[in-house]
Structure 1
Amino acid sequence: MTNVTGFLDGKAVVVTGAGRGLGAAYARLAAAEGAAVVVNDVDADLAGAVVAEIRAAGGRAEAAAGSVATWEGAGAIIGACVDAFGAVDGLVNNAGIFGLAHPSEQDPADFRAILEVNVLGSAYCGLHAIRAMLPRGTGSIVNVTSGAHAGSAAMGAYGASKGAVASLTYCWAADLEGTGVRVNAVSPNAHTRMADVYEAYLGDAARGQNVDKSPDRNAPAVVYLLSDASAGLHGQVVRLDGDELSMMAHPTVQGTGTHDPSWTVGAVAAAFAAGKVGPLSPVGLHRAG
């Protein structure tokens, strides 16, 4: 394998949900940039195929099949990296499942499954990785969130899960400040199986939104966040959309607010009526400024 620039030389990285799509793109580029990669997926055959591809190109990789959604399973995935390569320097929490449903039709079992994989899976893998990284004083975790957490029709479960992942990123960043272990997130956009499901559900209203947005176009930013080149980034969410690279803002208090030593319902209503509370936010993802 030709080492493109060596951004990850000497590092050992875990990529979850890497049997296809975005995860496979992240794993392939991480290996091309010099990392030894643990490729995780619930489908052992898919994980093995990506490992074979990386090895055929001259890279180092091991498969770790299994679900991220249990504490034991997540521990085994991180442990596989330590066992194979002696350490875990990076983790990409990519594993996730997607679903669409109007609230009046939401299947509670589907809602739970989305939260278990997307939220608990990210948390469990991250917790195991953090405990392996802290004694060494170095490491980078890249969580995968989505613009859907800002509000998107039919994505209550998925958007909530990705909102939780964003909040997890902010909280862990606060916890790990000054330790040498960094936590950031990416909000990718690509034509994957999730995009196919989205387009099938919404029909013409969604069709064509992910044209020419291949998973590979998202991988360089993820590898950058894993690398020492991004040492100054901590607690940030990087957004990719086609050819655009941008940053997502953290939740923030708008304006200066208004004050009253003894709020009543009437006083609250009057403050809103007078426009004193602050600007209202539009529903959905929007660009500030």
Structure 2
Amino acid sequence: MKELRFDGRTAIVTGAGGNPSLGRVYAMLLAARGANVVVNDIGSKHAPGAATAQGVVDEIVALGGKAVADTHSVATEAGANAIIQTALDAFGGVDILVNNAGIIFNTAFDEISSTDIQRTMDVNLMGPIWTSRAAWPHMKKAGYGRIVNIVSGSMYGFALQAAYAASKGGVYSLTRAMATEGKRLGIKVNSVAPGAFTRMVIGSQEEDCRTYQGTKAHMPAEVVSPAVAFLAHEDCPVNGECFDVMAGHVRRIYMAQTPGISVPDITIEKVAARWDEVMAGTSPDIFLVTDFDGFQRHDKPYKPS
């Protein structure tokens, strides 16, 4: 089995500061396999612990890798353009973009502030749009590019995460659309829904709750990075796909529809009478999480009704 390397490639990983963090392990693995890496992070204070792009760069350089730090925000078009320019100035191009930067507010739908909704959309959804648009012309000119967008299982619909779920669901659809356009240009775009013990978990969960304990014990960030790196590699065989990656599992996520019914003279009553046929063939919704005992918001515990 040949070693998959990234020698001569330049990768940008957004939200790659902090430890533990998914962005950090993506950046470190790409660098370990020969990529020049732009480590982007604004130094978010949303989760506990310091998150600095330079700190991760120092780790990479200490191990013999090549990396530079960038502290611009993905939430604005100007910031995204500056991130890409950092790669151009430091390494002369951009071959790989991992859109990892994200924020979350675990708050009830009717209680989350308008400001926090907008912040979530600006970072989680508009961030990948702005950075991808900034990188796209350079990838198009080169006839080559790999973009990996980080989504979330929350897009299936998790309580207390309406804004976060909407933003990540938007990135899933964005990935599909970009992949369709990128196919003829040599640009492949895929997405990953990761699960791992990170600063986001630490910042949004109480230490004694099951989510915190389960991810800490069984879901290290390092076991997510190989799948992300493979999707960023020139040998990546897929385009427009999404994968659930956690605890050593890599599973394809895809849309599906049932055969349903076809009734030319359809009425409300006929829909009601044949509803079982509409639903026939639907698999159980394994992603519907209804037990949130112990799930914590930033301000107080969430109490299921």
Q: What is residue 19 of structure 1 aligned with on the other side?
A: 17
Structure 1 counterpart SS, 2:206: helix
Letter paired with 2:219: K
Alignment correspondent of 2:218? 212
Q: Trace 1:44-123 onto structure 2 (pairs within 5 A).
A: 46-123=52-129
Deviation at 1:219, TM superposition (A): 1.1
CA distance in 2, matches of 1:72, 1:174: 26
Match of 1:176 among 182, 192, 209: 182
Q: How does 1:216-235 map to 2 (within 5 A)?
A: 216-230=222-236, 232-235=237-240
Question: In structure 1, how many angstroms separate the alpha carbons of the residues matched to 2:88 and 2:264?
Answer: 56
Instruction: Tell me the CA shift for residue 262 of structure 1.
Output: 3.0
Mapped to 2, the partners of 1:222 and 1:184 lie a distance apart of 9
C-alpha separation between the residues in 2 aligned to 1:97 and 1:65? 16
> CA contact under 8 A between 1:13 and 1:91: conserved in structure 2?
yes
Residue 139 (structure 1) aligned with residue 141 (structure 2): no
Q: Secondary structure at the match of 2:132?
A: helix
Structure 1 position 252 matched with structure 2 position 256: yes
TM-score by length of 2: 0.85
What's the secondary structure of 2:256's corresponding residue? coil
- Structure 1: 4+ residue segments shifted above 6 A: none
In the TM superposition, residue 190 of structure 1 has moved relative to its aligned partner by 0.7
Residue 278 (structure 1) aligned with residue 279 (structure 2)? yes
User: C-alpha displacement at 1:105, in angstroms?
Assistant: 1.9
Give the structure 2 partner of residue 193 of structure 1. Answer: 199
Q: Name the structure where helix makes up a greater proportion of residues.
A: 1
2:5 match: 7
Percent identical among aligned pairs is 37
Q: Is contact 1:151-1:283 (8 Å) kept?
A: no
- Equivalent of 1:261, from 242, 261, 264? 264
Cα deviations by residue, 1:220-239 (Å, 9 ceiling, x for unpaired): 11111111121x11111122
Give the Cα separation in 1 of the matches to 2:268 and 2:23. 50
Q: Does the 8 Å contact 1:152/1:284 carry over to 2?
A: no
Equivalent AA in structure 2 for residue 243 of structure 1: G
Deviation at 1:11, TM superposition (A): 0.2
The answer to whether the aligner puts 1:237 opposite 2:256 as a matched pair is no
How many Å apart are 1:181 and its aligned residue? Answer: 0.5
Matched residues in 1 for 2:10 and 2:211: separation? Answer: 38
Letter of the aligned partner of 1:65 in structure 2? T
Q: 1:282 deviation in Å?
A: 5.0
Alpha-carbon distance in structure 1 between the residues aligned to 2:23 and 2:274: 48
Once the two structures are superposed, what CA deviation does each residue of 1:75-108 show, in whole Å capped at 9, x if it has no partner?
Answer: 1101111121111000000000011112232222
* Residues 147 and 188 in structure 2, CA contact (< 8 A), matched pair in contact too: yes
Q: Distance in 2 between matches of 1:246 and 1:6?
A: 21
- For residues 149 and 284 of structure 1, the distance between their equivalents in structure 2, rounded to whole angstroms, comes to 13
Shift of 1:46: 0.6
Q: Which residues of structure 1 form unaligned runs of 5+?
A: none
Root-mean-square deviation over aligned CA pairs = 2.0
Q: Report deviation, 1:205.
A: 5.0
Task: For residue 173 of structure 1, give the secondary structure of its aligned residue in structure 2.
Answer: helix
What is the alpha-carbon distance in structure 2 between the residues aligned to residue 103 and residue 52 of structure 1? 40
Q: Distance in 2 between matches of 1:163 and 1:247?
A: 16
Stretch deviating more after TM superposition (85-94 or 42-51): 42-51
1:145 Cα deviation from its structure 2 partner: 0.6
Whole-Å separation in 2 of the counterparts to 1:115 and 1:283: 26
